[in-house]
Structure 1
Amino acid sequence: MTNIARTFAEMRPLGGYRVILADPPWLFGVRSAKGEAKAPQAHYDCMPTDEICALPVDVLAADDCALFMWVTWPLMPDWMRVIEAWGFSFSGLAWEWIKFNPATGKYAFGPGYGTRKNLEPCLLCTRGEPSLRQEVPADLFAGVTAAGTRSVRDFIECAPFEAIRAPRREHSRKPDEQYSRIETLFDGPYVELFARQKRPGWASWGNQTEKFEAEEVA
């Protein structure tokens, strides 16, 4: 058993995690010194796809488990390999993060050789048959939900759920709204892989779990 597998086995709750959130440190190929300075590997340690595939995520996962994974569209062949290697099936898009410049309110520019990749997708993948929560949490978005919203299915049908419009943050830091959305859809236990902050009610794993302090999200 590898050190990571041993750590995952020690982290695993009885029955496994029903939700896994992952933001793998994808390794990008670049074409210039200017591109190298902007690439993720200039800001934190990245991993080749083979190493990401080799992570024993199955040790953490419950038999019925939902995986939310942040990816980029140019690396689609890579993340399809990872999904399969981790023992999951691709379900579809969970949401896309529409980034804007917090100083100007205008859409933020991303890297890209064609279009500028302003949108960052988070995928939903499944293992077994994870089921949605039956009831919307009473404190969902500070209790502000559409009239007649009694179930998670009602909420999904009345909400523009596949877009998060939020300001661009520090490199690789994702919008905190992701947690509220996941907690609305599925019961825990929850674990975040490659976490860069800790979240109450979540387990976290990675080498930068205290990089950022979590912000309270209504």
Structure 2
Amino acid sequence: MNEQRRNAEGMAMSGSADLVAISRELANASDPFQVRDLEAKIDGIETYMKRSGLWTIEEIRPVVETRIRARHKLGGFLRAVERGKPFPGSSTLSGLTRFKDFIAKLNLTPPVALEAQRLSTLPEEEREQAFAELRARDPNALPSLGALIVLARPYWYQESRKARHEGTAAKANGQAAESPLGPFPLIYADPPWKFEIYSDKGLERTPDQHYPTLSDAEIMDFHVGEKLVSEIAHRDAALLLWCTSSNLERAVGILGAWGLTFKTSAVWVKDKTGLGLVFRNQHELLLYGTRGAMPGPQYQPPSVFSYPRGAHSAKPPEIRAEIERMYPDFDRSARIELFARGDIEGWTTYGFETDDKACA
């Protein structure tokens, strides 16, 4: 038994030396085929160590971690492939322009290739931290590829959204050359709602004293140039629509009439209270609706905004800035503010206070 253990220790030392060399090659690998060759060597070492039963979990763990690092790096190469273009710097893959040909040449199935790509979105420091935490939490456990892919999920979700945002913005930019009025994938609107008045005192404080207001039917039929809002909205679009708490149902109807579906809302809490028949109003709602395959925002702000009141019915500019963070790849060709109070940098604007014309 002692002789067997001595032989195992000798093989373990040899395996450790091999692993050091493999790790060094992996760090310098510049081609996915190099990584696949290294993966095969690592798999061989890991399989032998596990089947022989002569190595401890502690001795096997570095091999498993190196295998996961190799798959992580392979995923990075796959993510770098531009669809329809030859793989950069690889003679083995020269002439291949279809992604499925790439992965077939690498002897990968589409699901395995997708997993590798998703894994590679996990930052390296978080990967190594996960290894360290597992070692500390359970010395008898080995890291798994599946657990790391789950850990990477927020990152590949974010990357997927960003790619879709960029694609949507690129389409809007291309269409802007043909028409300055859309279609827009992002619409921000603060309609001049007409409110029912119950007393002469209330009449003094209506929006009509500050600007022309519109009925629900007029808002639904609102035109930007010669087009309805539903016509200037991109087939994949998001709308953020302001309303008070008392006209929530009306606002959802407007959103639907404009061709979008209500999804969620945020609230602006003011520093002062106003009037109200039941509650003294201190907040307004910002509804969010979409249509088509509009991707969710890249940044998710809190659902409660706390800012002071400004001029009558004016919304805090900080909230518009938050919307810009939600869709950072969009510019004035991709976003429009309806019923705007003036020209706004980076937005197409349209409204009574912009002379009823779109202003860049």
Q: Quote how far apart the aligned CAs of 1:39 are.
A: 1.2
SS of the equivalent of 2:324 reads helix
User: Map of 1:29-178 to 2, 5 A cutoff?
Assistant: 29-55=196-222, 56-93=228-265, 95-100=266-271, 108-132=272-296, 134=298, 152=299, 156=300, 161-178=302-319
SS of the equivalent of 2:314 reads coil
Note the residue ranges of structure 1 that are not aligned, 5 or more in a row.
Answer: 1-8, 101-107, 135-151, 211-218
Shift of the 165–19 alpha-carbon distance from structure 1 to 2, 3 Å rule, reads same
Q: Deviations over 1:50-86 (max 9, x none)?
A: 1111121012111111100000121123212211110
C-alpha contact (below 8 Å) 1:12/1:59 kept by paired residues:
no
SS of the equivalent of 1:97 reads strand
Aligned residue type for 2:324:
E
- Return the structure number with greater strand share: 1
SS of the equivalent of 2:204 reads helix
The alignment status of 1:17 with 2:184, answered yes or no, reads yes
- TM-score, normalized by length of structure 2? 0.45
Counterpart residue number, 1:206: 351
Aligned residue type for 2:250:
D
Counterpart residue number, 1:138: none
Counting matched residue pairs gives 169
Q: Quote how far apart the aligned CAs of 1:132 are.
A: 3.5
Moved over 4 A (4+): none
C-alpha contact (below 8 Å) 1:64/1:127 kept by paired residues:
yes
Note the residue ranges of structure 2 that are not aligned, 5 or more in a row.
Answer: 1-177, 223-227, 356-360
Q: Distance in 2 between matches of 1:97 and 1:121?
A: 6
The CA RMSD over aligned residues, in Å, is 1.7
Q: Distance in 2 between matches of 1:198 and 1:118?
A: 28
SS of the equivalent of 2:217 reads helix
Q: Distance in 2 between matches of 1:20 and 1:68?
A: 6
C-alpha contact (below 8 Å) 2:245/2:283 kept by paired residues:
no
Q: Quote how far apart the aligned CAs of 1:110 are.
A: 1.5
C-alpha contact (below 8 Å) 1:11/1:60 kept by paired residues:
no
C-alpha contact (below 8 Å) 1:65/1:130 kept by paired residues:
yes
- TM-score, normalized by length of structure 1? 0.73
Q: Quote how far apart the aligned CAs of 1:117 are.
A: 1.4
- Return the structure number with greater helix share: 2
Aligned residue type for 1:23:
D
Q: Distance in 2 between matches of 1:48 and 1:11?
A: 27
